[in-house]
Amino acid sequence: MIEVRGLHKRFGAHTALRDVDLDVAKGEVVVVIGPSGSGKSTLCRCLNRLETPDAGSVRVDGAELPAEGRALARLRADVGMVFQSFNLFQHKTVLENVTLAPVKVRGLSRAEAQQRARELLDRVGIGAQADKLPAQLSGGQQQRAAIARALAMRPKALLFDEPTSALDPEMIGEVLDVMTGLAHDGMTMVVVTHEMGFARRVADRVVFMADGEVVETGAPAAFFDSPATDRARDFLAKVLDH
Amino acid sequence: MNVITDHLPEFGSGLLLTVELTLLSLAGALVAGIVVAAMRVSPVGVLRAAGMAYVETLQNIPLLVWLVLAVFGLPEIGVKAGLFTTAVVVISLYQGAYTAEAVRSGINAVPAGQGEAARALGLTFTQSLRLVILPQALRTVVQPLGNIAIMTLMNTALAAAVGVVELTAAANRVNLAEAQPIWIFVAAGLAYMALSGVVGLATGTLERKLAILR
């Protein structure tokens, strides 16, 4: 479904990604973990070309991501993205947030898009908030609305860029529950996160990154119980200690 | 005071023309400003350069020079338009440059994540701008746009210099007949003040109505 080859990305003098390869099969849940500044968010943002890589290729469902323009917009429509800071459209109600792209990009009728949006909002548990503005919602509710917005495009894959990092602890669970549900329904997902519990329970495969490189990749049980590299052992010791 | 009441019809038609000039120029300036601001933030280099050239050229030559150039220059190259139409177009384009800069500052004030979310959903650059960025940008620049509206109103007086008989020109004509400049121009000034008062009120109301929760 997603095929990354030799991805390089620099920000000025800093190299954020160094020769990264990654394959995500259809229906697979890949969780990317690693210390801050390891390039995992940059990798996630390169997958739908919100960051333009300096070298390397990204293929989604067989098609190479083109440069900015209409063709890229069409491809992005098939790859949903959920951001750390939610990024709900502040001037639109939750319902309008969810219906905007289906109407404008997919050409759905307003009524059809609204019906589908209400179903999705019910599914993520915020059906009652449909007519509120994003700022009137809690962080957890906003993030669930953002997930509904991404799902409304019926994407082939979903990218999560640290979806719970901006949330209060008691709201993290409600968002992770929605994501776990999606994973069980067979959604192809790439999740950048610091939630090790989620990675262990839900991931089909864990990718550990450090200093812009993929250091280790493997099944969650194997990775968490017996990491193969010192770098990963060191990282896990720090995050799992408490 | 008789000098005002005696010439009410002249003042009235001058005032009406000032209002027409202002409203039409403002509408034109808003369209030009939004288009040019969009060009200035576009991913296409040529458009960005053209937008910048527009703003620099229009802003750095006085409006009066533009008006005189248009009124006398356009017929030379075969463009024949009435004085009023010429004035509306020139003032629109001139104020459009200032509007573009105000709108651009509004666009820059919209968090980058908004545009990213829009593009991640498959909206094209133009759709993101039109549906997500601009509606938020315009809400934040209501106040500066109100100032531009007042500036436009004041600048319509320059049309007097090229023969459009708006309020200032009307007052001047009355003065040529009556020679009572103080009463006549104080009256004209008060009329301008009343008009900008209306603009100020409208701006304040709009700002309160359109404020968005963040």
Quote the longest CA-to-CA distance of chain B: 68
Give which of B148, B167, B168 is closest to B94, Cα–Cα.
B148
Q: What is the pLDDT of residues A172-221, one digit of tens each?
A: 999 999 999 999 999 999 999 999 999 999 999 999 999 999 999 999 99
Going from N- to C-terminal start, the domains of chain B cover 19-165
Residue A122: band (very low, low, confident or very high) from pLDDT cuts 50, 70, 90: very high
Q: Share the mean pLDDT of chain B.
A: 94
Give the model's pLDDT for residue B213: 62
Residue B211: band (very low, low, confident or very high) from pLDDT cuts 50, 70, 90: confident
Q: What are the two backbone dihedrals, phi and then psi, of residue A24, each rounded to the nearest 5 degrees? A: -125, 120
Going from N- to C-terminal start, the domains of chain A cover 2-78+156-240, 90-154
Q: What is the pLDDT of residues B55-100, one digit of tens each?
A: 999 999 999 999 999 999 999 998 888 999 999 999 999 999 999 9
Give the model's pLDDT for residue A242: 60
Chain A contact set for B131 (CB, 8 A): 100, 104
pTM: predicted TM-score of the whole model, two decimal places: 0.88
**B45 Cβ contact list (under 8 Å, min separation 6):** none
CATH of domain A2-78+156-240: 3.40.50.300
Top pLDDT among A31 and B78 is at A31
Give which of A88, A142, A46, A71 is closest to B117, Cα–Cα.
A88
Torsion angle of alpha carbons B133, B139, B140, B145, nearest 10°?
Answer: 110
CATH architecture for segment(s) B19-165: Orthogonal Bundle (1.10)
Q: In the block, which residue shows the tokens 């990491």? A: A227
Residue B1: band (very low, low, confident or very high) from pLDDT cuts 50, 70, 90: low
Q: In chain A, helix, strand, coil percent, each to 5?
A: 40, 25, 35
Torsion angle of alpha carbons B73, B78, B83, B84, nearest 10°?
Answer: -120
Per-residue tokens: A191: 């999740």
Residue type, B55: V
Looking at chain A, the whole-number percentage of residues with pLDDT higher than 70 is 99
Average pLDDT of the residues in A28-48? 93
Task: Say if CB A63 and CB A157 are below 8 A apart.
Answer: no
Q: Counting Cβ atoms within 10 Å, is residue B92 exposed (0-12), middle (13-18) or buried (19+)?
A: buried
Residue A48 distance to chain B (closest CA, Å): 7
Average pLDDT of the residues in B138-167? 95
Q: CB neighbours (10 Å) of residue B25? A: 26
Looking at chain B, the whole-number percentage of residues with pLDDT higher than 90 is 90
Q: What is the pLDDT of residues A157-168, one digit of tens each?
A: 999 999 999 999
Chain B interface test: which of A72, A78, A89, A158 (most B C-beta within 10 Å): A89
- Pairwise CB contact (< 8 Å): B139 & A73: no
Task: Say if CB A212 and CB A18 are below 8 A apart.
Answer: yes
Q: What is the pLDDT of residues B9-23, one digit of tens each?
A: 999 999 999 999 999
Give the model's pLDDT for residue B80: 86
- Pairwise CB contact (< 8 Å): A76 & B120: yes
Give the model's pLDDT for residue A184: 94
Q: Share the mean pLDDT of chain A.
A: 93
Dihedral (CA of B145, B146, B149, B151) sign = negative
Chain B interface test: which of A60, A72, A104, A147 (most B C-beta within 10 Å): A104
- Pairwise CB contact (< 8 Å): B136 & A77: no
Residue B114 distance to chain A (closest CA, Å): 6
Residue A64 has pLDDT above 90, yes or no: no
- Pairwise CB contact (< 8 Å): B124 & A101: no
